[in-house]
C-alpha cells in the first residue's frame, strides 16, 4: 500500500511546523552560514537519490538517511580540508567533533567516525528496522553529548560555536527523523497486513527519541558545572583536547601568546592533562625566555604520566639551563635506563655532561646518540653530529670534528650553528679562507648571532682585512653590547689599522 494512505498531520500542525521550521532555518542559516548550507545541500542530493531508488516501504526512513549522509559528507570534507590546510602550513590536524573524538589519535577516530556512520547508514538503508535505528541513535547520542559540552564552552560568534550549533541541529534531526520514520514504517506494515510488530507505537518512539536526545545533552551540560557534580572523564577530556589542539595549531603558526591561552584553558577544564602541561612549559619558555614556570609544568606532567619521555627531556633541558646540571644529569640517566636506545636522551645527557666539563663522557653519549639514530630512523636529527664535533674540538681533535660538522650540514644545510662551528675548526687548522666561507654561510641562517660576527671579524683580521673585520665587530657589539671579546678585538683592529 502506498505511503499516501497513512493519515497526514492536521493542516494546522503542518502550518505551524512549516512556519517554525522556516524561522529556525532562517535564524540558524544566517548565524552559521555555509556550515548549515553545505550539509543541507549534501542531504538534498542524497535524499533525492535514495527516494528514487528505494522501495515505497523504506521511504519513511529516507529523510533520516539523507540528513545523516549530509552530516557525514560535511564532516568528511571538513576533515579533508583541515588536513590540507595543516599540511600546507605545517600544522597539526584539528580533531573533528564526532563521538569518536574521545580517546584515540586523530586519524584513528576520523576513520572510526566514518566507519561507524557508514556502516550504520548502510544498515539503515538496506534494512530500516529497530536495530539499525538503535545503533545510529547511540552513535548520534554520544556525539550529541560531546558537541553539547564543547558548544557550551565555545565563544559566541566563533567559527567553532557556529559549526557546533550545526552539529547539534543535525544530530537532533537525525534522531527525531529516525524514530518518526520507524513509526511510519510500522504503520505501513500494518496497513499492508503485516502486523505492527515491525514498528513501534507513537509513545514508544517519542520516549525513546527523548532518552537519546535529553540524556547526552544533560551530560554535556553537566560537564560545564562546578566540580562536585559527576563529570564523565571522556567528555571532560574531549573538551580539554579541543583547547589543546587549538593551542598546538596556534603554536605552529608562531602565535605563542594565543597558544598559551588555549593550553591554560585546557588545564582549567582538565588539570590532569599531561600533554597540556608539557606544551604550556615549552610555549612559556619560547614566549618569555625563562624556564622557572616551565619547570613546574614539566614536573606536573611527569607526576601525571611517569613515562612521558618528551616532558622528561624538556625538564632536563630546563634544569640544565637554570644551572641545575647535576639534577638534569640524574634525570637523563634515569630516562636512559628505561630507554637505552633513545637518541635524544643520549644527546641531551652529553650536553649536560659537557656543561660540567666532563668531555670524555659527553663524547661517549654523543656517539651512542648517533648509533641510536639508525635504530630510530631519525635521519633528520643533526644535533648529535654537531655536538660531537664541538666536544672533539674541545679535545683538539679538529680533523674528526670537521668530519662530524660536515655530516651535520649534510643532514641539515640550514644548520647555522654547525656552519659556525665548522668555520672555527677550519680556522684552528689554519684554513682561514674556507673558515670565512662557512662563517658567511652561518650568517645567512643566523644573521643576529654576535659570536658568528666576532668569529668572522677575527678571520678577516687574520688576513689583514681590517675594515671588514671592524664592521663585523661593531655588528657583534650592536647585537650584544657587553660582548667583551668583540670589544677587545675591535680596539685591536682599530689600532692595527692606524
**Series of mean pLDDT values for 10-residue runs along the chain (498 residues):** 50 65 66 72 84 78 84 75 50 39 46 77 81 84 78 66 81 85 76 54 74 70 48 57 84 81 86 87 77 81 78 75 71 66 75 81 84 77 88 91 91 90 92 92 89 91 89 90 89 82
Which positions ≥6 away from 460 have C-beta within 8 Å? Answer: 436, 466, 468, 469, 472
Contact 279, 247 (CB under 8 A): yes
* pLDDT value of position 197: 43
* pLDDT value of position 440: 92
* pLDDT value of position 304: 84
Structural domains in the chain plus CATH codes: 3-224 (no CATH), 237-322 (1.25.40.10)
Closest to 450 (Cα-Cα) out of 415, 487, 399, 413: 487
Query: Helix 416-428 to helix 383-394 angle, to the nearest 10 degrees?
Result: 30
Closest to 335 (Cα-Cα) out of 311, 354, 312: 312
Hey, how many other C-beta atoms are within 10 angstroms of the C-beta on 475? Answer: 20
Where helices occur in 192-291 by DSSP H, the ranges are: 202-222, 233-252, 256-269, 274-288
* pLDDT value of position 79: 65
- Give dist(CA 378, CA 278) in Å, integer: 22
Q: How many residues does the chain have?
A: 498
Closest to 312 (Cα-Cα) out of 289, 326, 295, 324: 295
Buried b (16+ CB within 10 A) or exposed e, 435-459: bbbbbebbbebbeebbbbbbbbbbb
Angle at 104 (CA atoms; ends 98, 109), nearest 5 degrees: 40
* pLDDT value of position 231: 43
- Give dist(CA 479, CA 196) in Å, integer: 85
Task: Kindly calculate the radius of gyration of the chain based on its CA atoms and give it in whole angstroms.
Answer: 32
Angle at 397 (CA atoms; ends 396, 398), nearest 5 degrees: 90
- Give dist(CA 12, CA 198) in Å, integer: 30
Which phi-psi region, left, alpha or beta, contains residue 193 (left: φ > 0; alpha: ψ -120 to 50)?
left
Residue holding cell 683592529? 493
- Give dist(CA 170, CA 40) in Å, integer: 9
Closest to 246 (Cα-Cα) out of 259, 265, 264, 255: 259
Q: How far apart are the first and last CA of the chain?
A: 111
* pLDDT value of position 196: 44
Sign of the alpha-carbon torsion through 391, 395, 400, 403: positive
All cell numbers assigned to 362:
659527553
* pLDDT value of position 340: 62
* pLDDT value of position 434: 93
Which positions ≥6 away from 381 have C-beta within 8 Å? Answer: 343, 344, 373, 411
Q: What is the dihedral of CA 424, 428, 433, 437, to 10 degrees?
A: -10
Amino acid at each position: 500500500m502506498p505511503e499516501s494512505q497513512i493519515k497526514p498531520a492536521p493542516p494546522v500542525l503542518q502550518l505551524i511546523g512549516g512556519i517554525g521550521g522556516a524561522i529556525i532555518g532562517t535564524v540558524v542559516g544566517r548565524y552559521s552560514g555555509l556550515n548549515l548550507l553545505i550539509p543541507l545541500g549534501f542531504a538534498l542530493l542524497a535524499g533525492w537519490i535514495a527516494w528514487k531508488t528505494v522501495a515505497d516501504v523504506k521511504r519513511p526512513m529516507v529523510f533520516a538517511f539523507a540528513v545523516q549522509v549530509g552530516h557525514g559528507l560535511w564532516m568528511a570534507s571538513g576533515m579533508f580540508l583541515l588536513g590540507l590546510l595543516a599540511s600546507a602550513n605545517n600544522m597539526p590536524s584539528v580533531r573533528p567533533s564526532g563521538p569518536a573524538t574521545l580517546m584515540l589519535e586523530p586519524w584513528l577516530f576520523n576513520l572510526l567516525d566514518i566507519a561507524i556512520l557508514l556502516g550504520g547508514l548502510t544498515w539503515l538503508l538496506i534494512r530500516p528496522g529497530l536495530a539499525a535505528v538503535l545503533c545510529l541513535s547511540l552513535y548520534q547520542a554520544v556525539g550529541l553529548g560531546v558537541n553539547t559540552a564543547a558548544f557550551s564552552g565555545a565563544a559566541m560568534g566563533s567559527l567553532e560555536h557556529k559549526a557546533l550549533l550545526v552539529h547539534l541541529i543535525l544530530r537532533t534531526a537525525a534522531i527525531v527523523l529516525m524514530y518518526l520514520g520507524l513509526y511510519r514504517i510500522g504503520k505501513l506494515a500494518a496497513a499492508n497486513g503485516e502486523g505492527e510488530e515491525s514498528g513501534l507505537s507513537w509513545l514508544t518512539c517519542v520516549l525513546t527519541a527523548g532518552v537519546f536526545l535529553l540524556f547526552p545533552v544533560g551530560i554535556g551540560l553537566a560537564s560545564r558545572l562546578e566540580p562536585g557534580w559527576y563529570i564523565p572523564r571522556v567528555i571532560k577530556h574531549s573538551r580539554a583536547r579541543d583547547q589543546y589542539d587549538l593551542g598546538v595549531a596556534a603554536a605552529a603558526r608562531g602565535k605563542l601568546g594565543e597558544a598559551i591561552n588555549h593550553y591554560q584553558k585546557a588545564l582549567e577544564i582538565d588539570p590532569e592533562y599531561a600533554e597540556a602541561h608539557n606544551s604550556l612549559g615549552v610555549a612559556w619558555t619560547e614566549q618569555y625566555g625563562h624556564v622557572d614556570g616551565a619547570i613546574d609544568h614539566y614536573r606536573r606532567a611527569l607526576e601525571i604520566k611517569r613515562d612521558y619521555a618528551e616532558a622528561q627531556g624538556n625538564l632536563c633541558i630546563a634544569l640544565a639551563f637554570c644551572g641545575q646540571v647535576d639534577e638534569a644529569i640524574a634525570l637523563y640517566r634515569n630516562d636512559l635506563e628505561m630507554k637505552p636506545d633513545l637518541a635524544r636522551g643520549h644527546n641531551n645527557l652529553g650536553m649536560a655532561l659537557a656543561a660540567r666539563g666532563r668531555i670524555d663522557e659527553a663524547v661517549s653519549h654523543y656517539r651512542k646518540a648517533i648509533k641510536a639514530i639508525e635504530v630510530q630512523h631519525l635521519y633528520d636529527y643533526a644535533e648529535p653530529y654537531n655536538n660531537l664535533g664541538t666536544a672533539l674540538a674541545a679535545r683538539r681533535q679538529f680533523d674528526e670534528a670537521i668530519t662530524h660538522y660536515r655530516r651535520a650540514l649534510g643532514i641539515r644545510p640550514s644548520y647555522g650553528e654547525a656552519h659556525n662551528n665548522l668555520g672555527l675548526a677550519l680556522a684552528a687548522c689554519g684554513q682561514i679562507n674556507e673558515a670565512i666561507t662557512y662563517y658567511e654561510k652561518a650568517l645567512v641562517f643566523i644573521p643576529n648571532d654576535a659570536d658568528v660576527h666576532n668569529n668572522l671579524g677575527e678571520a678577516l683580521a687574520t688576513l689583514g682585512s681590517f675594515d671588514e673585520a671592524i664592521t663585523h665587530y661593531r655588528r657583534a657589539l650592536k647585537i650584544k653590547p657587553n660582548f667583551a671579546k668583540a670589544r677587545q678585538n675591535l680596539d685591536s683592529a682599530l689600532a692595527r689599522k692606524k
